Amino acid sequence: MQCCFFHIGQDSFSFTNHAKLLFTANEAPAIKSNEGLRRRIKILIAKSSPHVATSGDDDHYTEYMKERGAFVYYAMSLYMEAKNRRKMSLTKDIEDATAEWFLKGDDIENWVNEHLVEDTNSRPRSNWIYNELKDYWAENGLEKVPSSKTVMARIRELGYDVRKNNAIFPNGEDGDDKGQVAQRVIGVRYCS
């Protein structure tokens, strides 16, 4: 799988993926993920504070080169153990960091977590919810708003009920909502 990643205001990069990916850095790159990436990428937490270069510092290159061979041997030994077990052991830190990283890269999930609140009496129309998301993206400089179908599919993946239904109480914020049967997000209320 070959991927190219572009993010507003950040450097783009690309890579070819053949196996499980292990990332470690001061800050992980923000990328849009798909299921293939979600299965393969794991974020490793750096246990020490990030290195900040000072003037005249060679970034400890000499020390790094001395340690490189031992580190590579150690990493390969652990890889062989995992291969023999046919399973990679993941710590809670790795799982939490990976989940947090995917959340940062999922604009729809971030918007849903920020703007949709559970309310059993509310059933806003899905196209109204989509228009609110579109307006939010435009106000915040995000480009290429996904289609309504893509957004609603992602909202379903997040566990929300999206289906045809009427509204018990029409949405007061949606001037076109008369309570008629329409595609609705059941049991949520929009908060701006």
For residues 148 and 133, the answer to whether their CB atoms sit within 8 Å is no
pTM of the model: 0.53
The answer to whether residues 80 and 127 belong to one domain is: no
As a three-state string, the secondary structure of the chain is CEEEEEECCEEEEEEECCCCEEECCCCCCCCCCCHHHHHHEEECCCCCCCCCCCCCCCCCHHHHHHHHHHHHHHHHHHHHHHHHHCCCCCCHHHHHHHHHHHHHHCHHHHHHHHHEEECCCCCCEHHHHHHHHHHHHHHCCCCCCCCHHHHHHHHHHCCCEEEEECCCCCCCCCCCCCCCCEEEEECEEECC
CA distance 83 to 97: 23
pLDDT at 135 over 80: yes
pLDDT score at 160: 93
The answer to whether residues 86 and 155 belong to one domain is: no
Q: What value does the CA radius of gyration of the chain take, rounded to a whole number of Å? A: 23
Predicted confidence band of residue 152 (pLDDT cuts 50, 70, 90): very high
CATH number of the structural domain spanning residue 175: 1.10.10.10
The answer to whether residues 43 and 126 belong to one domain is: no
Query: Looking at 64, 81, 104, which one is the last position of a domain?
Result: 104
The answer to whether residues 118 and 95 belong to one domain is: no
Predicted confidence band of residue 4 (pLDDT cuts 50, 70, 90): low
The answer to whether residues 75 and 126 belong to one domain is: no
- Domain of residue 78: give its range: 2-47+56-104
The answer to whether residues 99 and 121 belong to one domain is: no
pLDDT at 24 over 60: no
pLDDT score at 31: 59
The answer to whether residues 25 and 95 belong to one domain is: yes
The answer to whether residues 180 and 141 belong to one domain is: yes
The answer to whether residues 99 and 19 belong to one domain is: yes
For 100-129, how does the pLDDT look when each residue is reduced to its tens digit (9 = 90+)?
777 676 788 888 988 999 988 888 989 999
The answer to whether residues 25 and 40 belong to one domain is: yes
Structural domains of the chain, count: 2
The answer to whether residues 80 and 36 belong to one domain is: yes
Give the mean model confidence (pLDDT) for residues 156-184.
Answer: 83
pLDDT at 12 over 90: no
The answer to whether residues 71 and 131 belong to one domain is: no
For 25-75, how does the pLDDT look when each residue is reduced to its tens digit (9 = 90+)?
556 556 555 566 666 666 666 666 665 666 665 666 677 777 878 888 888
